[in-house]
Amino acid sequence: MTELERLVDFHKHGERQGPGSAAQTLKALNLLGVADTRGLNVADIGCGTGAQTMVLAENADCRITAVDLFPEFLERLRDRAMLKARGEGITTLEASMDSLPFDDETFDLIWSEGAVYIMGFEEGIRDWKRYLKPGGYLVVSEISWITPSRPKELEDYWMNAYPQMDSISRKISLLEKHGYSPVAHFILPEYCWTENYYNPILSRIPGYLAEQENSAEVRAFAESEREEIDLYNRYKEYYSYVFYLARKTS
Protein backbone atom coordinates (compact mmCIF):
# COMPACT_ATOMS: atom_id res chain seq x y z
CA MET A 1 0.00 0.00 0.00
CA THR A 2 1.23 3.51 -0.73
CA GLU A 3 1.10 6.08 2.05
CA LEU A 4 -2.00 7.61 0.49
CA GLU A 5 -3.75 4.24 0.18
CA ARG A 6 -2.94 3.61 3.83
CA LEU A 7 -4.50 6.93 4.83
CA VAL A 8 -7.68 6.16 2.91
CA ASP A 9 -7.83 2.59 4.22
CA PHE A 10 -7.61 3.78 7.81
CA HIS A 11 -9.76 6.90 7.53
CA LYS A 12 -12.62 5.32 5.60
CA HIS A 13 -13.71 3.77 8.91
CA GLY A 14 -14.08 7.23 10.44
CA GLU A 15 -17.27 9.21 10.77
CA ARG A 16 -15.29 12.17 9.55
CA GLN A 17 -11.85 12.73 8.05
CA GLY A 18 -11.10 16.08 9.66
CA PRO A 19 -12.03 18.19 12.69
CA GLY A 20 -15.62 19.44 12.79
CA SER A 21 -19.10 18.72 14.08
CA ALA A 22 -22.70 18.63 12.97
CA ALA A 23 -23.40 21.64 15.20
CA GLN A 24 -20.66 23.70 13.56
CA THR A 25 -21.79 22.76 10.05
CA LEU A 26 -25.29 23.80 11.03
CA LYS A 27 -24.04 27.04 12.55
CA ALA A 28 -22.35 27.93 9.25
CA LEU A 29 -25.47 27.01 7.29
CA ASN A 30 -27.64 29.15 9.57
CA LEU A 31 -25.28 32.12 9.27
CA LEU A 32 -25.79 32.11 5.50
CA GLY A 33 -29.49 32.76 5.96
CA VAL A 34 -30.54 30.37 3.21
CA ALA A 35 -32.92 28.34 5.38
CA ASP A 36 -35.96 29.44 3.38
CA THR A 37 -34.41 29.08 -0.05
CA ARG A 38 -35.82 26.19 -2.07
CA GLY A 39 -33.83 23.93 -4.35
CA LEU A 40 -30.31 25.13 -3.56
CA ASN A 41 -27.73 23.56 -5.82
CA VAL A 42 -24.74 22.63 -3.64
CA ALA A 43 -21.26 21.20 -4.27
CA ASP A 44 -19.51 19.59 -1.28
CA ILE A 45 -15.85 19.40 -2.27
CA GLY A 46 -13.55 16.92 -0.49
CA CYS A 47 -16.62 15.40 1.16
CA GLY A 48 -14.91 12.31 2.61
CA THR A 49 -17.43 9.88 4.10
CA GLY A 50 -19.95 12.70 4.20
CA ALA A 51 -20.22 13.98 7.78
CA GLN A 52 -21.14 17.49 6.63
CA THR A 53 -22.98 16.27 3.51
CA MET A 54 -25.60 14.58 5.67
CA VAL A 55 -26.09 17.68 7.81
CA LEU A 56 -26.57 19.86 4.75
CA ALA A 57 -29.00 17.38 3.17
CA GLU A 58 -31.08 17.21 6.33
CA ASN A 59 -31.19 20.92 7.04
CA ALA A 60 -31.49 22.67 3.71
CA ASP A 61 -33.81 22.25 0.76
CA CYS A 62 -31.05 21.27 -1.63
CA ARG A 63 -29.50 18.84 -4.02
CA ILE A 64 -25.85 18.12 -3.36
CA THR A 65 -23.01 16.94 -5.56
CA ALA A 66 -20.54 15.37 -3.11
CA VAL A 67 -17.05 15.28 -4.61
CA ASP A 68 -14.02 13.30 -3.49
CA LEU A 69 -10.97 11.79 -5.11
CA PHE A 70 -11.39 8.44 -3.36
CA PRO A 71 -14.20 6.02 -4.26
CA GLU A 72 -13.89 4.24 -0.87
CA PHE A 73 -15.07 7.40 0.88
CA LEU A 74 -17.87 8.01 -1.61
CA GLU A 75 -19.11 4.45 -1.17
CA ARG A 76 -19.45 4.99 2.58
CA LEU A 77 -21.19 8.28 1.93
CA ARG A 78 -23.72 6.55 -0.32
CA ASP A 79 -24.36 3.93 2.39
CA ARG A 80 -25.02 6.71 4.89
CA ALA A 81 -27.24 8.63 2.50
CA MET A 82 -29.39 5.58 1.85
CA LEU A 83 -30.30 5.41 5.52
CA LYS A 84 -31.50 9.01 5.69
CA ALA A 85 -34.50 10.98 4.62
CA ARG A 86 -33.35 13.48 1.98
CA GLY A 87 -30.44 11.16 1.14
CA GLU A 88 -31.77 10.83 -2.40
CA GLY A 89 -30.82 14.46 -3.01
CA ILE A 90 -27.13 13.52 -2.83
CA THR A 91 -25.10 12.54 -5.89
CA THR A 92 -21.49 11.42 -5.53
CA LEU A 93 -18.78 12.38 -7.97
CA GLU A 94 -15.27 10.94 -8.10
CA ALA A 95 -13.13 13.85 -9.25
CA SER A 96 -10.15 15.93 -8.23
CA MET A 97 -10.88 19.32 -6.72
CA ASP A 98 -8.35 20.95 -9.02
CA SER A 99 -10.03 19.75 -12.22
CA LEU A 100 -13.75 19.71 -11.61
CA PRO A 101 -16.08 18.90 -14.48
CA PHE A 102 -18.64 21.62 -13.69
CA ASP A 103 -20.01 24.35 -15.92
CA ASP A 104 -19.56 27.95 -14.86
CA GLU A 105 -22.26 29.42 -12.60
CA THR A 106 -23.72 26.05 -11.63
CA PHE A 107 -23.98 26.29 -7.85
CA ASP A 108 -25.74 28.44 -5.27
CA LEU A 109 -23.35 27.16 -2.63
CA ILE A 110 -19.91 25.58 -2.58
CA TRP A 111 -19.08 23.85 0.70
CA SER A 112 -15.71 22.39 1.64
CA GLU A 113 -14.72 21.29 5.14
CA GLY A 114 -11.10 20.52 5.94
CA ALA A 115 -10.12 19.95 2.33
CA VAL A 116 -9.23 23.15 0.45
CA TYR A 117 -5.68 23.00 1.89
CA ILE A 118 -5.07 20.06 -0.45
CA MET A 119 -4.92 22.37 -3.46
CA GLY A 120 -4.11 25.41 -1.30
CA PHE A 121 -6.62 27.90 0.07
CA GLU A 122 -5.83 30.62 -2.44
CA GLU A 123 -5.92 28.31 -5.47
CA GLY A 124 -9.14 26.71 -4.25
CA ILE A 125 -11.12 29.88 -3.63
CA ARG A 126 -9.80 31.39 -6.85
CA ASP A 127 -10.55 28.39 -9.09
CA TRP A 128 -13.90 27.40 -7.59
CA LYS A 129 -15.43 30.84 -7.89
CA ARG A 130 -16.41 30.38 -11.50
CA TYR A 131 -18.66 27.45 -10.58
CA LEU A 132 -20.72 29.74 -8.34
CA LYS A 133 -23.72 31.63 -9.62
CA PRO A 134 -23.48 35.41 -9.16
CA GLY A 135 -24.19 36.08 -5.49
CA GLY A 136 -23.54 32.42 -4.65
CA TYR A 137 -21.95 31.43 -1.36
CA LEU A 138 -18.66 29.80 -0.48
CA VAL A 139 -18.17 28.06 2.86
CA VAL A 140 -14.75 26.59 3.60
CA SER A 141 -13.06 25.47 6.78
CA GLU A 142 -9.33 26.07 6.76
CA ILE A 143 -6.60 25.59 9.35
CA SER A 144 -5.48 29.03 10.57
CA TRP A 145 -3.49 30.80 13.26
CA ILE A 146 -5.83 32.07 15.94
CA THR A 147 -3.34 34.13 17.99
CA PRO A 148 -1.04 36.97 16.85
CA SER A 149 2.14 35.00 17.60
CA ARG A 150 3.26 31.46 18.37
CA PRO A 151 6.31 29.36 19.38
CA LYS A 152 8.95 28.94 16.73
CA GLU A 153 8.76 25.13 16.78
CA LEU A 154 5.11 25.30 15.84
CA GLU A 155 5.59 27.98 13.21
CA ASP A 156 8.40 25.94 11.63
CA TYR A 157 6.31 22.80 11.64
CA TRP A 158 3.42 24.41 9.81
CA MET A 159 5.51 26.44 7.40
CA ASN A 160 6.94 23.13 6.28
CA ALA A 161 3.67 21.13 6.35
CA TYR A 162 1.44 23.84 4.87
CA PRO A 163 3.12 27.07 3.77
CA GLN A 164 -0.28 28.78 3.35
CA MET A 165 -0.96 28.48 7.09
CA ASP A 166 -1.89 32.05 8.01
CA SER A 167 -3.92 34.37 10.22
CA ILE A 168 -7.68 34.78 9.95
CA SER A 169 -7.34 38.35 8.70
CA ARG A 170 -5.02 37.27 5.88
CA LYS A 171 -7.40 34.52 4.83
CA ILE A 172 -10.23 37.04 4.73
CA SER A 173 -8.06 39.40 2.67
CA LEU A 174 -7.52 36.63 0.15
CA LEU A 175 -11.27 36.13 -0.13
CA GLU A 176 -11.65 39.86 -0.86
CA LYS A 177 -8.77 39.81 -3.32
CA HIS A 178 -10.45 37.04 -5.29
CA GLY A 179 -13.85 38.66 -5.63
CA TYR A 180 -15.73 37.52 -2.54
CA SER A 181 -17.42 39.56 0.11
CA PRO A 182 -16.81 38.04 3.58
CA VAL A 183 -20.03 37.11 5.37
CA ALA A 184 -18.79 35.61 8.65
CA HIS A 185 -16.10 33.50 10.21
CA PHE A 186 -15.80 31.44 13.39
CA ILE A 187 -13.24 29.20 15.03
CA LEU A 188 -13.95 25.50 15.56
CA PRO A 189 -14.02 24.65 19.27
CA GLU A 190 -11.69 22.08 20.75
CA TYR A 191 -14.19 19.20 20.92
CA CYS A 192 -14.31 19.21 17.11
CA TRP A 193 -10.68 18.07 17.16
CA THR A 194 -10.63 15.86 20.24
CA GLU A 195 -14.00 14.16 20.75
CA ASN A 196 -14.99 14.15 17.10
CA TYR A 197 -11.74 13.46 15.30
CA TYR A 198 -8.64 12.56 17.31
CA ASN A 199 -10.22 10.38 20.01
CA PRO A 200 -11.93 8.12 17.46
CA ILE A 201 -8.60 7.83 15.61
CA LEU A 202 -6.76 6.87 18.80
CA SER A 203 -9.35 4.28 19.69
CA ARG A 204 -9.27 2.73 16.20
CA ILE A 205 -5.46 2.41 16.07
CA PRO A 206 -4.99 -0.73 18.24
CA GLY A 207 -7.59 -2.71 16.27
CA TYR A 208 -6.17 -1.53 12.98
CA LEU A 209 -2.63 -2.52 14.02
CA ALA A 210 -3.87 -5.99 15.00
CA GLU A 211 -5.84 -6.38 11.78
CA GLN A 212 -2.76 -5.41 9.75
CA GLU A 213 -0.57 -7.80 11.76
CA ASN A 214 1.41 -5.03 13.34
CA SER A 215 3.52 -4.47 10.24
CA ALA A 216 6.32 -1.93 10.42
CA GLU A 217 4.57 0.19 7.83
CA VAL A 218 1.35 0.37 9.83
CA ARG A 219 3.24 1.10 13.02
CA ALA A 220 4.95 4.03 11.26
CA PHE A 221 1.56 5.24 10.05
CA ALA A 222 0.10 5.02 13.57
CA GLU A 223 3.10 6.90 14.91
CA SER A 224 2.61 9.76 12.46
CA GLU A 225 -1.08 10.04 13.44
CA ARG A 226 -0.04 10.13 17.11
CA GLU A 227 2.57 12.80 16.41
CA GLU A 228 -0.02 15.04 14.80
CA ILE A 229 -2.30 14.57 17.80
CA ASP A 230 0.53 15.28 20.21
CA LEU A 231 1.33 18.52 18.39
CA TYR A 232 -2.30 19.58 18.69
CA ASN A 233 -2.40 18.78 22.41
CA ARG A 234 0.71 20.84 23.05
CA TYR A 235 -0.21 23.84 20.92
CA LYS A 236 -3.97 23.96 20.52
CA GLU A 237 -4.31 27.51 21.77
CA TYR A 238 -2.46 28.78 18.68
CA TYR A 239 -4.32 27.17 15.78
CA SER A 240 -7.61 25.70 14.76
CA TYR A 241 -9.83 25.20 11.81
CA VAL A 242 -11.79 28.33 11.00
CA PHE A 243 -14.99 28.46 9.01
CA TYR A 244 -14.98 31.21 6.37
CA LEU A 245 -18.28 32.23 4.79
CA ALA A 246 -18.23 34.50 1.78
CA ARG A 247 -20.36 35.62 -1.13
CA LYS A 248 -19.29 35.87 -4.75
CA THR A 249 -19.37 39.51 -5.74
CA SER A 250 -17.61 39.69 -9.07
Amino acid at 26: L
Tell me which residue has its CB nearest to ligand SAH. Answer: 48
Q: Which stretch binds ligand SAH (CB under 6 A): 75-83, 107-115, 168-176, 205-213?
A: 107-115
- H or E element in which residue 34 lies: none
Select 16 or 185, whichever has its Cβ closest to ligand SAH: 16
Question: To the nearest whole angstrom, how small is the minimum distance from the Cβ of residue 249 to ligand SAH?
Answer: 26
Residues 211-242, buried b or exposed e (16+ Cβ, 10 A)?
ebeeeeebeebbeebeeebebbeebeebbbbb
Number of residues that bind ligand SAH (CB under 6 A): 20
Question: To the nearest whole angstrom, how small is the minimum distance from the Cβ of residue 126 to ligand SAH?
Answer: 16
Q: Among residue numbers 30 through 69, which ones bind ligand SAH (CB under 6 A)?
A: 46-48, 51-52, 67-69
Question: To the nearest whole angstrom, how small is the minimum distance from the Cβ of residue 5 to ligand SAH?
Answer: 11
Select 180 or 243, whichever has its Cβ closest to ligand SAH: 243
The SS3 call for residue 19 is: coil
Edge-to-edge strand list for the sheet holding 180-187: 90-94, 62-68, 40-45, 107-113, 132-145, 239-248, 180-187
Contact yes or no for 14/200 (Cβ under 8 A): yes
Q: Give φ, ψ of 58 to 5 degrees.
A: -85, -15
Q: What span, in angstroms and rounded, lies between the C-alpha atoms of 72 and 49?
A: 8
Our finding on whether 16 is near ligand SAH (CB under 6 A) is: yes
Select 48 or 87, whichever has its Cβ closest to ligand SAH: 48
Query: Per-residue string for binding with ligand SAH, 63-92, x by CB under 6 A?
Result: ----xxxx--x-------------------
Residues that bind ligand SAH (CB under 6 A): 16-18, 20, 46-48, 51-52, 67-70, 73, 96-97, 113-115, 118
